[in-house]
Amino acid sequence: MKEPTLVLIKPDGLVKSLTGNILTRLSETKLEIVAAKMVSVSDELAREHYKHLKDKPFYDELIKYIKGELHARRKVLAMIYYGEGAIEKVRQLAGATNPEEADSISIRGQYGRITTSGVYENAIHASTNLKEAKREIKLWFKPDEIIVDLYPAKTISHEVREKEWA
Ligand code: IDP
Ligand code: MG
């Protein structure tokens, strides 16, 4: 069965110009990209995304990291990869959470580091399981931003204020 997984290129990956390299590595999976956008990560989004880690000693540093405050670059590239075994395939390529323990040819093994403040800067986020993928995708994307129907959605009409080209 096809499944989706959320992939983020974290601020260190962007600052180090690793986007091309990481996308090339991910293309080995033959998965399809069904959504992609640059996101300026708000405090609320960062805290919700990592809420399962809120009691960890590195939590505050982790929030700063994903918001781009450690890299003076407040952005993340968010994507959804979709296909057979997507979650496991991307986790495999990403490598272990701790870049020192990650397989040396995995993305995190190649590009990650542990900062002196103790946060693992590991260039990429990848969902851990189906439940987390669903929670994370709904957090980062709206239904219309994804080119396939992943989860039930409803159409609502309300007054929107949005920019158009002047
Ligand atoms: P994952 O990203 O491999 O799924 P999680 O446990 O969900 O790992 O942790 C989220 C992120 O928090 C990691 O990718 C890493 O940046 C950071 N992190 C996790 N564990 C530690 C730790 O023990 N020390 C420092 N940073 C950590
Ligand atoms: Mg995780």
Measured between alpha carbons, how far is 123 from 107 in angstroms, rounded to an integer?
A: 8
pLDDT beyond 90 at 117: no
Give tens-digit pLDDT for 45-101: 999 999 999 999 999 999 999 999 999 889 999 999 999 999 999 999 999 999 999
Residue 136 scores a pLDDT above 90: yes
Can you list the domains of the chain with their CATH numbers? 2-145 (3.30.70.141)
Express each pLDDT in 119-134 by its tens digit: 999 999 999 999 999 9
Beta pairing class for 2-9 and 32-39:
unpaired
Q: Please state, in angstroms and rounded to a whole number, the distance separating the CA atoms of residues 156 and 148.
A: 19
Could you tell me the two tokens for 116? 């002196």
Answer whether residue 24 shows pLDDT above 90: yes
Ligand 1, residues 12, 48, 62: which to mutate, most atoms within 8 A of Cβ?
A: 62
Ligand found nearest the CA of 50: 1
DSSP 27: H
pLDDT of 45: 98
Cβ–ligand 1 distance for 58 under 6 Å, the answer yes
The residue to which tokens 């952005």 are assigned: 75
Nearest to 83 by CA among 41, 32, 35: 32
**What pTM, to 2 d.p., does this model score?**
0.96
Mean pLDDT over each residue of the chain, to the nearest integer: 97
Q: What is the 3-state secondary structure (H, E, C) of 71-140?
A: CCCCCEEEEEEEEECHHHHHHHHHCCCCCCCCCCCCHHHHHCEECCCCCEECCEEECCCHHHHHHHHHHH
Residue 122 Cβ < 6 Å to ligand 1: yes
The CA distance from 122 to 6, in Å, is 15
Strand partners, 35: 80
- The per-residue pLDDT for 96 is 98
Tokens of 76: 């993340």
